[in-house]
Amino acid sequence: MAKRLTWEQKHIVNHDTGHALVKAVPGSGKTTTLVKRVERLVKSGTDPRSILILMYNKSAQESFIGKLTMALQSNVIPEVRTFHSLALKIVCHAERLQVIKKKKLLTPDNFDYEKLVKAAYRNGFEHEGSYINSSEIEEFELFISRCKAAAVTSSDAATDPTFKAIKRELIRAYSYYCEQLEEKNLRTFDDCLIEAVSLLRHFPSLGNHFSHIIVDEYQDVNLIQHDMTRLLSKSDTSVMAVGDINQCIYEWRGARPDFIGGLFEKHFYNTRVFQLSCTFRFGHQLSLMANSVIRRNSTKLTRLCVSHHSAPKTEVRIYVDNCLSKALKDSQIENGTQAILSRTKASLAEAEVALRLCSLPYRYLNGSTSLQHRSEIGMLTVGILLSVYGDLQLLEKHPNKEALINGFLREMGFRWQKGQLKAARNGLAHNSDLYSVLGRVFDDGSSSQHHKELLEKLASICKTGGKEMLAFDVLMLLKKAGFMDGIGTEGVTRTGSNDRRRGMVRIEELLELSKIDSSTFLQLILYPEEASNDCEPFILSTLHGSKGLEWDNVVLVGLNDEEYPGGINDDGYSVTASKNSPIKDDNIEEERRLFYVGMTRAKQQLNLVVPHDDGLIRWLENCWDSTPKKSSIATRFVYETGYTACNVTSHVIYNSEEKNQKSELSKFHQWYLRDLQRLKV
């Protein structure tokens, strides 16, 4: 059945020519509106080939093409591309015209790309042996994209003072990566973007002439993409940028709130501003809570996110005491989609253990790191194996043997000398007696006092536990023996190191709470039970990864203030950040936007799993929605939701309660009611 467009949607569909900026709240029917707009333009005579639509990623591009083909009922549809694919088209065209050198495109799914990244990593870190932890490669790739988004060359990286805090190994790896691309005559999509912008600047005719350009998710564009949009726009081109400043969360990839929040209007003259302020995804309580959080940012909130009458009546629950298992048990929705989202990967690892404990099915959104590949889990598993059995026989033939042992060897703080790590790995391939293997490795005359002490620690832990011990107690033994002291010190980036340290804290809390014995823990990690298939698998994702997606049931975890937003700046670019420095206002604003993105993914249910915090309980009882003055245990963002007051107001709305009750509501909630009336939704 055709949907009746809201009047805000109709205004956008009917916009004629001239630049436009559409400010759209989450789930506000952007795609529906844009498809309708293109349909109207084509039906009123615009040549579809003169319309360009730029989507943020490939899946959005494919879904948009599908919807457009259906709407236009024609094979001639406008050009729908991602920035990358458009850049590639321009670069290929320039190659054919022999304006630039021909190079081979290296895509991320190409095996040669993986080989190149690993070779560069090995080179930078002087890494020995064939095994490299996937999360280390992920961190290196992230660093590559950060550099490329800012068009940083390898020599820039080596000399730029803002890179002072970056590990030299990482910069060496990046230089090697750039050199290899050059030497082998290769380019990646990131290189294409940089080259395409430079080509358009010097040879403007390389870009087709478009009468309309529509750019979706404009809050995610970086400077290169913003420049590309400008260079593609001719004097008679109408550019429409669509996005939400409150969902700008990719600053580490070069996106900045000011592109959508000012620069677009500055660079594209006479821009008309439109709003899509009505959400079809979630109900009033969640809308009120989301507004209540995001209004703390310095970006002035001129329009609220308001729920459409057809939106689900979303239920929001808060679980105190980090009761994830309880939240998982009572929040499942039959046949509904569900997700667990977290700021850090560390809390996702904890969620994985909790899901295994409840025998619930799950998978990662992008298939990346799973429990066995996290080095602190390897450390703990090997430590428990040693304390219970004295050796690693149980790992023989296990598919994750290498990953788990690698975690241990890496986190134990051995300070390996050349050749030793490789010798240890080779030795352990055929011998499960870790103590004797390491004894032989360090018995070459060059071993230091430090190595001897570590071996003594190992000896002290071997078979001290026993099957009947609680996993938590074994962990305490390992801690006492100094096993956990080195966690994170070998990290590729500070973000990764912090994440592993947090992972350890999270697992410690979970083991203390769940009281499982060590053999159950080993079973969970090594041979988890088949999960029940009574419900849809829980999707595990970071908040960053959840952007643009939605689920019936969303569970947010890792909501303690010291982890999220955290007291320290995790960003490896920051030179001055120290453990005690307070998080900067800009960073808090970005973290707040991330929380806003996370909470607005839910359709039917939002479950917030928070640590025990008496302050929060008081806050909830008193209907307060201000930020606590002193540092809190639960993340400050949960306080900012004004949960109880929003619950009351949404009750008033759903039950069409009396006017006098409405007048008792806060000014902010009255604003919401006025918008609801104004929008007539």
Ligand X SMILES: Nc1ncnc2c1ncn2[C@@H]1O[C@H](COP(=O)(O)OP(=O)(O)OP(=O)(O)O)[C@@H](O)[C@H]1O
Q: Which residues participate in the annotated binding site for ATP?
A: 24-31
Separation CA 597–CA 549 (nearest Å) = 10
With beta carbons less than 8 A apart as the criterion, state whether 93 and 205 touch.
no
Shortest CA distance to 302 belongs to which of 76, 495, 21, 600?
21
Q: How far is the CB of 604 from ligand X (least distance, A)?
A: 14
Pairing mode, strands 51-55 and 212-215: parallel
Listing DSSP states for 113-145 in one string gives HHHHHHHHHHHHHT--SS---HHHHHHHHHHHH
User: Which sign, positive or negative, has the C-alpha torsion 201, 202, 204, 208?
Assistant: negative
Choose between 207 and 243: whose C-beta lies nearer to ligand X: 243
Q: Which of 8, 15, 22, 26 binds ligand X (CB under 6 A)?
A: 26
Closest CB 278 distance from ligand X, rounded Å = 8
Distance CA 487, CA 475 (A): 14
Whose Cβ is closer to ligand X: residue 60's or residue 142's? Answer: 60
Name the segment binding ligand X (CB under 6 A); options: 20-28, 130-138, 449-457, 518-526: 20-28
Does 246 bind ligand X (CB under 6 A)? Our answer is no
N-terminal to C-terminal alpha carbon distance within the chain: 18
Taking contact as CB under 6 A, which single stretch among the options 27-35, 186-194, 465-473, 604-612 is the one that binds ligand X? 27-35
Considering only residues 8, 15, 19, 29, which one is a binding residue for ligand X as defined by CB under 6 A?
A: 29
Cβ proximity to ligand X: between 24 and 87 the closer is 24
Please identify, using beta-carbon distances, which residue of 284 and 401 lies nearer to ligand X.
Answer: 284
Looking at 31, 46, 198, 275, which residue binds ligand X (CB under 6 A)? 31
Nearer to ligand X, 36 or 502 (CB): 36
Q: Determine, following the binding rule CB under 6 A, whether residue 27 of this chain makes contact with ligand X.
A: yes
Cβ-count burial of 636 within 10 angstroms (0-12 exposed, 13-18 middle, 19+ buried)?
buried
Per-residue x/- track, 532-571, ligand X (CB under 6 A): ----------------x-----------------------
Best CA proximity match to 286, nearest among 681, 664, 680, 604: 604
Positive or negative torsion for Cα 668, 673, 678, 681: positive
Cross-strand pairs, 23: 243, 275
Positive or negative torsion for Cα 605, 609, 615, 621: positive
Binding status of residue 3 toward ligand X by CB under 6 A: yes
Q: How far is the CB of 608 from ligand X (least distance, A)?
A: 21
Considering the complex, state which of residue 281 and residue 669 has its C-beta at the smaller distance from ligand X: 281
Among the residue ranges 1-9, 471-479, 561-569, 570-578, the one whose residues contact ligand X (CB under 6 A): 1-9
Residue 565 DSSP symbol: I
Binding mask of the shown chain, residues 495 to 534, with x at each position contacting ligand X by CB under 6 A: ----------------------------------------
The token pair that represents 314 in the structure block: 């979303």
Q: Are 498 and 488 within 8 A, CB to CB? A: yes
Residues 270-329 that bind ligand X (CB under 6 A): 280, 310
Q: For residue 133, which of 442, 379, 426, 394 has the smallest C-alpha distance?
A: 379
Q: Which stretch binds ligand X (CB under 6 A): 22-30, 37-45, 104-112, 261-269?
A: 22-30
Q: Give the nearest distance from C-beta 596 to ligand X in angstroms.
A: 12
Instruction: Tell which phi-psi region holds residue 437, choosing left (phi > 0), alpha (psi between -120 and 50) or beta.
Output: alpha
Q: How far apart are CA 161 and CA 223, in angstroms?
A: 21
Q: Which of positions 415-434 make contact with ligand X (CB under 6 A)?
A: none
Strands 79-82 and 51-55: parallel
Q: CB nearer to ligand X: give 310 or 578.
A: 310
* Minimum distance, C-beta of residue 308 to ligand X, in the bound complex (Å): 6
Q: Which is nearer to ligand X, 4 or 629 (CB)?
A: 4
CB of 30 to ligand X, least distance (A): 3
Binding residues: 24-31
Q: CB 188 → ligand X: shortest distance, Å?
A: 27
30 binds ligand X (CB under 6 A): yes
Question: Which of 8, 21, 28, 233 lies at the binding interface for ligand X (CB under 6 A)?
Answer: 28
- Pairing label, strands 272-276, 362-364: unpaired
Residues 188-227 that bind ligand X (CB under 6 A): none
Minimum CB–partner distance for residue 243 and ligand X (Å): 10
| Of the residues 5, 119, 142, 333, which one makes contact with ligand X according to CB under 6 A | 5
Neighbouring C-beta atoms of residue 418, cutoff 10 Å? 9
Secondary structure class of 332 (helix, strand, coil): coil
Burial group, residue 393, by CB count within 10 angstroms (0-12, 13-18, 19+): exposed
- Residue that the structure tokens 């009882």 belong to: 621
Per-residue H/E/C for 238-279 = EEEEEECHHHCCCHHHCECHHHHHHHHHHHCCCCEEEEECEE
Q: Which is nearer to ligand X, 309 or 415 (CB)?
A: 309
Does residue 243 touch ligand X according to CB under 6 A?
A: no
Beta carbon nearer to ligand X, 35 or 478: 35
How many residues form the binding site for ligand X (CB under 6 A)?
16
- Residue 181: CB minimum distance to ligand X, A: 34
* Surface-to-core class of residue 166, CB atoms within 10 Å of its CB (0-12 exposed, 13-18 middle, 19+ buried): buried
635-674 residues near ligand X, rule: CB under 6 A: none
Binding site for ligand X (CB under 6 A): 3-6, 9, 24, 26-32, 280, 310, 548
